Amino acid sequence: MPASALDRLASLHVEYPMLFELTNAPVERVSHCGVLEFIADEGMIYLPYWMMENMLLQEGDIVQVKNASLAKGTYVKLQPHTMDFLDISNPKAILETTLRSYSCLTTGDTIMVPYNNKKYYINIVETKPSPAVSIIETDCEVDFAPPLDYKEPQQPVPSLRSKGMPPEAEEVPPKKVAKFSPFSGSARRLDGKPLTQPAALPVSPLFKQHNSNAGNETVASKSSSSTSSQHSGKLVFGSNGGQPPKETTKVRRSILV
């Protein structure tokens, strides 16, 4: 700030440490800060670049500066922009060292933490006991919100067994048992030629003679049975009872022969 601002503040008997409220009226942005030195040119103030980004200011814009009295902070909630900040070995120690250069914090602002040649941006999510607090010579509790690029891991879908529900029995189709069918193959010739007509099975002479004898015996038995039935009928019913006995004897012999 310019040296004339120090003379004016001294005449107003302001409280120390000196804290100020900055307002960018066109965009209605409000923030708070302290003062480092009173060596700026008349009518000019110098702000850090990260604060100009918070206030949406460009070089040469008009800013309203007002003396402010802020309560000492008891709680601050911070939210890193990226998860890289959590990879630091001791982020709270780095943050504590960085905040020593700050005199106050305002809810909604974004601060920059330089570490190991890298810049980490952190949002001020919440401050207590008021939206703007002083952090000079005070014990303040610091809490962290999940980073802006944090993604929750996908939870696996619980299976039916994990829920204690028995899985549905799978229907197993019955296996088809092959039935045995004898001589189900087709006939083939030894010379490889196609088979036109089924070959007749050879019949032995003994089998033919046996069949012929069996047939003759069957015919003879039929004829003898028929003859015997006819003659025996005559004998039983006595149809030839008036004839001499010799003829009857002949008939019996013919049957026996």
CA of 179: how far to CAs of 73, 187, 252, in Å? 91, 21, 62
SS3 per residue for 164-228: CCCCCCCCCCCCCCCCCCCCCCCCCCCCCCCCCCCCCCCCCHHHHHHHHHHHHHHHHHHHHHHHH
- CB-based contacts of 47-53 (< 8 A; 24+ apart in sequence): 47/22, 50/110, 50/111, 50/112, 50/121, 51/22, 53/110
From 69, 85, 110, give the residue that closes a domain: 69
Domain for residue 196, yes or no? Answer: no
Residues 77 and 146 in one domain: yes
What pLDDT score was predicted for residue 253?
44
- Could you say which of 34, 54, 69 is where a domain stops? 69
Structural domain contains residue 224: yes
Give the Cα separation of 251 and 132 in Å (integer).
153
> Which ranges of the chain would DSSP assign to H, the alpha helix?
3-12, 49-55, 91-99, 205-237, 245-256
Beta-bridge mates of residue 128:
75
Please tell me the predicted confidence (pLDDT) of residue 30: 93
- Provide the domain count of the chain: 3
pLDDT value, residue 73: 93
Indicate if 89 and 127 belong to the same structural domain. yes
pLDDT of residue 139: 87
8 in any annotated domain? yes
Same domain (yes/no): 215, 234: yes
- What are the CA-CA distances from residue 183 to residues 56, 177, 180, 187, 193 (Å)? 98, 18, 10, 10, 21
Please tell me the distance from the alpha carbon of residue 61 to that of residue 242, in angstroms, as a whole number.
Answer: 169
Residue ending a domain, among 69, 85, 114, is 69
Residue 167 lies in a domain: no
Region class of 211: left (phi > 0), else alpha (psi between -120 and 50), else beta: alpha
Per-residue pLDDT, 62: 92
pLDDT computed for residue 227 by the predictor:
45
Question: Do residue 11 and residue 63 come from a single domain?
Answer: yes
Same-domain status, 56 and 96: no
Which residue in the block uniquely carries the two structure tokens 């708070």?
A: 32
pLDDT at residue 180, rounded to an integer: 58
The CATH number of whichever domain residue 142 belongs to comes to 3.10.330.10
Domain assignment present for 229: yes
Q: Per the domain annotation, does 220 fall within a domain? A: yes
Q: List the domain range (segments joined by +) for residue 141.
A: 71-150
Q: What is the mean pLDDT of each run of 10 residues along the chain (257 residues)?
A: 89 86 93 92 90 90 92 93 88 86 92 89 94 91 88 69 53 61 63 60 48 49 46 43 47 43
Residue 199 lies in a domain: no
